[in-house]
């Protein structure tokens, strides 16, 4: 399984993508810098991803700072598990996100979820383990595998920013979703995680929109 560890991997992926699909050449030219955005695996990375799913990056950053005040700068699952849903809602989280974070913290604290071990699993198996946590959906699982585990061949088809960016960048008449977008992205394997990074960068620069990707 190919793993992304540094910007050289992203550059290699972009070169391979341009060769595999010439339609991506103008997208690459217009996207500007394509960030690496890797973070270490573990509870802090997963919590950051869950918090990032806010209306705006600024709001997510404010909530994250408040959580660090509660738990300490290193977001440990055991420390987080001691918090109540009311405390989490007080820093700006919705009830659903608070419950998801508490469920994840409990699973990690009691060795029911190994956030380091799943990084070596095949994507389908890793996603299955992550989404077994109540409230944790496929998008969160896929983003964790991309940016904490470094998986190189994941394309989160449920991401609305990616749906819009692919349609805009490739000049498609309609925004592709689900299986249709997966079919479009199949050509970009084994570098679909780099393709996702590319289209998020394109979305931010050319469409002047903010994404919910953390980091």
Q: What is the pLDDT of residue 214?
A: 57
The average confidence (pLDDT) of the chain is: 93
Are 166 and 141 found together in one domain?
no
Domain count, the chain: 2
In a domain, 214, yes or no: no
Query: Residues 91, 66: contact at Cβ < 8 Å?
Result: yes
> Is 60 exceeded by the pLDDT of residue 211?
yes
Q: What is the rounded CA–CA span in Å between residue 196 and residue 138?
A: 15
14 with 47, same domain: the answer is no
pLDDT (average), residues 29-51: 94
Q: How far apart are the first and last CA of the chain?
A: 24
Q: Tell the burial category of 37 from Cβ atoms under 10 Å away from its Cβ (0-12, 13-18, 19+).
A: middle
- Is residue 88 within 8 Å of 183, Cβ to Cβ? no
Angle at 96 between CA 200 and CA 74, to 5 degrees: 70
- Strands, DSSP E only, in 91-213? none
CA neighbours closer than 13 Å in the CB half-sphere of residue 119: 19
User: Do 68 and 129 fall within a single domain?
Assistant: yes
What is the reported pLDDT for 71?
A: 86
User: Is residue 171 in some structural domain?
Assistant: yes
The domain containing residue 23 runs over which residues?
7-36+153-206
CATH assignment of the domain containing 171: 1.10.1670.40
Q: Domain check: are 86 and 132 in the same one?
A: yes
Same domain, yes or no, for 65 and 121?
yes
Per DSSP, the three-state class of 120 is: helix
Residue 184 has pLDDT above 90, yes or no: yes
Co-location of 85 and 133 in the same domain: yes
Same domain for 171 and 137, yes or no, is: no
Q: Are residues 18 and 56 in the same domain?
A: no
Residues near 16 by beta carbon (within 8 Å), at least 6 away in sequence: 191
Query: Taking the CA atoms of the chain, what radius of gyration do you get in angstroms?
Result: 17
Which domain CATH number covers 118?
Answer: 1.10.340.30
The pLDDT of residue 54? 72
Burial class of residue 126, CB neighbours in 10 A (0-12, 13-18, 19+) = buried
Tell whether 66 and 161 lie within a shared domain: no
Q: For position 161, what pLDDT does the model report?
A: 93
Average of pLDDT values for 57-70?
Answer: 90
Question: Which two tokens mark 210?
Answer: 């903010």
- pLDDT band at 31; cut points 50, 70, 90: very high
Reply yes or no on whether the pLDDT at 215 is more than 80.
no
Q: What is the pLDDT of residue 82?
A: 87
Per-residue pLDDT tens for 105-144? 999 999 999 999 999 999 999 999 999 999 999 999 999 9
Supply the pLDDT for residue 198: 98
- Contact (Cβ atoms closer than 8 angstroms) between residue 4 and residue 194: yes
Q: DSSP 3-state assignment of 91?
A: coil
Same domain, 139 and 50: yes
Token pair belonging to 148: 């904490």
- Average pLDDT for 91-113: 95
Token output for 115: 């956030």
Let me know whether 90 and 136 are in one domain.
yes
């Amino acid at each position: 399984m190919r793993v992304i560890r540094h910007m050289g991997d992203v550059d290699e992926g972009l070169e391979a993508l341009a060769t595999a699909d010439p339609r991506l050449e103008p997208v690459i030219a217009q996207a500007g810098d394509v960030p690496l955005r890797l973070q270490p695996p573990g509870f802090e990375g997963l919590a950051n991803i869950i918090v990032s799913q806010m209306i705006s990056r600024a709001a997510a950053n404010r909530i994250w700072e408040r959580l660090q005040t509660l738990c300490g700068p290193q977001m440990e699952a055991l420390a987080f598990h001691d918090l109540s849903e009311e405390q989490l809602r007080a820093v700006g989280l919705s009830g659903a996100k608070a419950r998801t974070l508490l469920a994840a913290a409990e699973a990690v604290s009691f060795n029911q979820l190994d956030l380091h071990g799943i990084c070596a699993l095949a994507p389908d198996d890793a996603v299955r383990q992550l989404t077994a946590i109540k409230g944790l959906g496929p998008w969160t699982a896929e983003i964790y595998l991309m940016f904490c585990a470094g998986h190189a061949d994941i394309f989160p088809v449920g991401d609305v920013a990616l749906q819009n960016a692919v349609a805009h960048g490739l000049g498609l008449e309609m925004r592709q979703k689900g299986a249709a977008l997966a079919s479009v992205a199949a050509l970009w394997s084994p570098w679909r995680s780099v393709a996702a990074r590319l289209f998020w960068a394109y979305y931010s620069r050319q469409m002047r929109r903010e994404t919910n990707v953390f980091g």
